[in-house]
Amino acid sequence: MTELLSNYLGGTWQPGTGAGTALFDPVLGNELARVDATGLDLAAGFAFAREQGGAALRALSYRQRAALLGEVVKVLQANRDAYYDIATANSGTVRNDSAVDIDGGIFTLGTYARLGDTLGDRHFLADGEAARLGKDPLFQSQHVLVPTRGVALFINAFNFPAWGLWEKAAPALLAGVPVIVKPATATAWLTQRMVRDVVEAGVLPAGALSVVCGSAAGLLDALQPFDVVSFTGSADTAALIRSHPAIARRSVRVNIEADSINSAVLLPQDGPGSAAFDLLAKEVVREMTVKSGQKCTAIRRIFVPETLYAQAAEAIGARLSKVTVGNPRHDSVRMGALVSRAQFDAVQAGLAELRMHAQVLHDGARQPLVDADPALACCIGPTLLGVTDADAAAAVHDTEVFGPVATLLPYRDTAHALDLVRRGQGSLVASLYGSDAAALGAAALELADSHGRVHVISPDVAQLHTGHGNVMPQSLHGGPGRAGGGEELGGLRALHFYHRRSAIQASTAVLGSLA
């Protein structure tokens, strides 16, 4: 029988008491491990994290907690090879895609270790300058940020089992808040292994980092008023979380990062043969194929001037035709599998729905698989759809297929393009392509209100930009409306979610003593 992965809660490793849910290799189909959380005393585990882990972390300064993050980085770097093997087997990703997840997570941790060191040996953060409360300057008000005295519960998505943990855990631990992570079941193995390695290395205080695998049943029931929840996943699940009594009645703080229908826009000044046109085609193909399109930031809609529709379809299709799909263990394979049979079926269903409203410009189903059985492997080639009337294509603006699928749409002028982008009702990211700096800047500001990030790619940064879908710790990750209304990362801004703001009204002598 395959291994039953243990949970780490209350400072001890605890297997579930049930048979568990199986994790599979999405290419070969064999069972890899099982996860189960049946029988765990969640209330006791959460209390241990709050009381033991929280107290130990708060006793340290920001600089000391930053040093702990640096030690975690060393542990993870020492075990990178094992993480890559797990990602290949459980997520079906090629090595470059695994790097986005694994090395991206380690990089984010390292970034927050460096940022935290700049905060020094303080135990709170000043929020602005002190303000007079009357004519006499002796009595003033100083806003401060202090770590919340609760736990940070992370309910994560299946597509980034490594980065999804550490991009949340890095600012939480730096803020002085203990972490309990519930990874998505399908790819929980990598998250569990990383937590295990860090726990066994003994670099964090007891209760600072916990993991619960398997069902999420009961997790929200264990929340208390000063806890915080960060969720990444579907809008439907997000709505259930927001309506839970712990959230609605106990005022538990929640951050939601939901999938969104992100866009790429080629501005009208640049046509075929231009650097901007080629940059668009290249980036669209990369976003469609990295992680097999299973990224919440992936490009789903591509907007080009209506006079360039045919040329854009040809250019993108030509690049897609060169993408090799199949078993990620082969060096010749550029795109691996979807993470599970359930995800494969969901992508097929979504693609069938979109095909009722769009034509197929490049059919990924016709691409042969490398060393993978089509009847068994959860592999699907990249598919480019097209719609000639972007205004009438309601389904394309409302339906996301979480896989290697994108739709090409034409627009009349820049104003029309930006109106079409906004039909996504709020997105994590939009990217703009062009060579006119003023036009790009104006368009970026027009889209800023409805996007967490606007990624502007001009020829002068062709070799420098970080990518439409790459989430960098220095920049905001999140978005309004459909994207969930949440905010993560953004440098030290991420710490605010894990702090409570209070105004201390006192004499200047008392306020001076705080430092």
Catalytic positions: 257, 296
**Closest alpha carbon to 262 in 292, 298, 312:** 298
Count of CB atoms situated within 10 Å of the CB of 395: 14
List b or e across 12-23, with b for residues whose CB sees 16 or more CB atoms inside 10 angstroms: eebbbeeebbeb
Distance, in Å, from the CA atom of 175 to the CA atom of 50, rounded to the nearest integer, reads 14
CA dihedral 294, 298, 300, 303 (to 10 degrees): -160
**Closest alpha carbon to 467 in 270, 257, 299, 269:** 299
The DSSP call for residue 49 is I
Count of CB atoms situated within 10 Å of the CB of 4: 16
List b or e across 36-52, with b for residues whose CB sees 16 or more CB atoms inside 10 angstroms: bbeebebeebbbbbbeb
* Residue 501 phi, psi dihedral angles, 5° rounding: -95, 135
H or E segment at 498? Answer: none
Q: Report the interhelical angle of 275-289 vs 309-320 (nearest 10°).
A: 50
Beta strand pairing call for 325-326 and 369-370: parallel
H or E segment at 462? Answer: none
User: In Å, how far are 27, 84, 93, 333, 368 from 371, measured between CA atoms?
Assistant: 9, 20, 14, 9, 9
Which strand ranges, in their side-by-side order, compose the sheet holding 209-211?
Answer: 12-14, 7-9, 209-211, 179-182, 152-155, 228-233, 253-258
